[in-house]
């Protein structure tokens, strides 16, 4: 029997989760990672304090309302007719999994919409956590972090038709800065995670990062589909293998706080990305990355690129000069800006 939250929710229920930056993204997609497990496919990601939040409040029985920052309409759906192919499809699928109705879901984000920092996956994690809080209030057992992550990934991968990675959800659940190794052949432990910094180290790292939104939104599914197709055909596979080795070295230099060497590794990854993923760059993001490299930093696009966010790492003085150069470049572009943010050491809450 479905559950109406209209009378269960005596007040708003809230949850939030951090977005992320990444190096070695795409290796978390099963179609790439599983056949190449012998090379230990990895991703480094960094959770940012630009959090996505979800608020649950009572609504009409048998109906679900979803509203979101960046969408002008408030969509209302009947519980027996939820379109999982809708822009809100993954959120409707989560509500269907919990078998609830009579609820208004409001989604907001401190990061720009479609900025390639994993916003939709982060919002899904926040929604699942909010729904789990309702269950706990009703005396049921809550989801542990790994089960929450598995549920979110499985929902999104299934609704998207496959080829969905897990790193966005992983950063949202656990926060912090991690090296993830993907081992999908092990159903009980499909990944290992290595936290690269203490909380103090994360504060230091924050002063060596610059993050900018290009003012151009992106759609990752189209870009990822091409990358995976080129990988599966063998066209770009050797390049991807080289990227993986670079990301492993990047993690070592990052953890050791050798900022100049970490920047060099990121420049090497970006050089390969220009060859194997040229569609990830548009004129403004290419300019931002070139400015970072000219300043002695390393930079790359977040996620699948093709707009969205660019981030850089380097010595503190170089980073401060780079932020000023980026601000000058981005000022004429509507919505574009250098983002004020730092590492978020806590995950979903």
Phi, psi of 274 (to 5 degrees): -60, -30
Residue 123 belongs to some domain of the structure:
yes
Q: How far apart are CA 153 and CA 317, in angstroms?
A: 39
User: How many structural domains comprise the chain?
Assistant: 2
Residue 41 belongs to some domain of the structure:
no
pLDDT at 305: 82
Predicted confidence (pLDDT) per residue in 227-239, tens digit: 999 999 999 999 9
| Neighbouring-strand partners of residue 67 | 106
To which residue do tokens 């496919």 refer?
41
pLDDT at 221: 65
pLDDT at 222: 67
Closest of 168, 177, 128, 220 to residue 19, by C-alpha: 168
Read off the tokens for 335. 């919505």
Predicted confidence (pLDDT) per residue in 22-65, tens digit: 999 899 999 999 999 999 999 999 999 999 999 999 999 999 99
Residue 314 belongs to some domain of the structure:
yes
Residues 268 and 225 in one domain: yes
Read off the tokens for 126. 């926040």
**Which residues touch 338 (CB under 8 Å, ≥6 apart)?**
210, 211, 212, 323, 326, 327, 330
Residue 206 belongs to some domain of the structure:
yes
Cα end-to-end span (Å), the chain: 28
Closest of 36, 19, 29, 20 to residue 224, by C-alpha: 29
pLDDT at 114: 85
H helices of the chain, where? 30-33, 89-98, 119-137, 145-159, 167-174, 199-206, 220-233, 237-255, 259-276, 283-294, 316-330
Residue 194 belongs to some domain of the structure:
no
Q: Which three-class secondary structure state does DSSP give residue 81?
A: coil
pLDDT at 21: 97
Residue pair 244/237 in contact by the 8 Å Cβ criterion:
no
Residue 139: count other Cβ atoms within 10 Å of its Cβ: 6
Residue 312 belongs to some domain of the structure:
yes
Residue 129 belongs to some domain of the structure:
yes
Q: Which of 108, 138, 173 is the last residue of a domain?
A: 173
Q: How far apart are CA 76 and CA 60, in angstroms?
A: 10
Q: Which of 173, 208, 226 is the last residue of a domain?
A: 173
pLDDT at 22: 96
Residue ranges making up the domain that contains 63: 3-18+49-173
Q: How far apart are CA 65 and CA 122, in angstroms?
A: 19
**Which residues touch 161 (CB under 8 Å, ≥6 apart)?**
none
pLDDT at 217: 83
Q: Which three-class secondary structure state does DSSP give residue 283?
A: helix
pLDDT at 72: 63
In this prediction the pTM is: 0.95
Residues 135 and 10 in one domain: yes
Residue 93 belongs to some domain of the structure:
yes
Question: Three-class SS string for 124-174?
Answer: HHHHHHHHHHHHHHCCCCCCCHHHHHHHHHHHHHHHCCCCCCCHHHHHHHH
pLDDT at 255: 98
Residues 146 and 8 in one domain: yes
Torsion on CA atoms 260, 245, 24, 214, rounded to nearest 10: 40
Residue pair 166/155 in contact by the 8 Å Cβ criterion:
no
Q: What is the CATH number of the domain that holds 210?
A: 3.30.70.890
Read off the tokens for 331. 């000022």
pLDDT at 251: 98
For the chain, residues with pLDDT lower than 70 are 70-73, 218-222
**Inter-helix orientation angle 119-137/89-98, to 10°:** 20
To which residue do tokens 């920047």 refer?
263
């Amino acid at each position: 029997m479905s559950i109406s939250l209209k009378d269960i929710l005596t007040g708003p229920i809230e949850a939030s989760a951090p977005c992320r930056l990444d190096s070695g993204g795409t290796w978390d997609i099963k179609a790439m990672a599983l056949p190449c497990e012998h090379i230990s496919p990895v991703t480094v990601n960094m959770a940012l304090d630009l959090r996505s939040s979800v608020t649950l409040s009572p609504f009409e029985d048998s109906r679900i309302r979803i509203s979101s920052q960046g969408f002008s309409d408030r969509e209302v759906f009947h519980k027996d007719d939820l379109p999982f192919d809708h822009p809100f499809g993954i959120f409707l699928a989560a509500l269907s999994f919990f078998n609830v109705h009579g609820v208004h879901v409001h989604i907001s984000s401190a990061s720009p919409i479609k900025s390639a920092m994993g916003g939709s996956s982060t919002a899904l994690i926040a929604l699942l956590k909010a729904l789990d809080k309702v269950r706990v209030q009703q005396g049921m057992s809550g989801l542990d972090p790994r089960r929450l992550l598995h549920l979110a990934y499985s929902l999104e991968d299934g609704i998207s038709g496959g080829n969905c990675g897990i790193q966005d959800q992983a950063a949202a659940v656990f926060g912090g800065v991690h090296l993830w190794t993907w081992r999908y052949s092990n159903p009980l432990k499909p990944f290992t995670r290595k936290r690269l910094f203490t909380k103090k180290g994360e504060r230091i790292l924050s002063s060596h990062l610059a993050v900018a939104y290009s003012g151009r939104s992106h759609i990752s599914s189209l870009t990822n589909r091409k990358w995976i197709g080129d990988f599966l055909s063998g066209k770009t596979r050797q390049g991807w293998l080289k990227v993986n080795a670079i990301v492993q070295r990047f993690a070592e230099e990052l953890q050791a706080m050798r900022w100049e060497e970490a920047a060099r590794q990121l420049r090497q990854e970006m050089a390969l990305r220009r060859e194997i993923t040229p569609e990830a760059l548009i004129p403004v993001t290419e300019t931002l990355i070139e400015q970072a490299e000219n300043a002695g930093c390393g930079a790359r696009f977040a996620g699948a690129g093709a707009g969205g966010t660019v981030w850089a790492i380097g010595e503190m003085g170089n980073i401060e000069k780079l932020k000023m150069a980026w601000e000058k470049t981005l000022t004429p572009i509507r919505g574009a800006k250098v983002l004020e943010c730092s590492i978020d050491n806590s995950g979903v809450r």
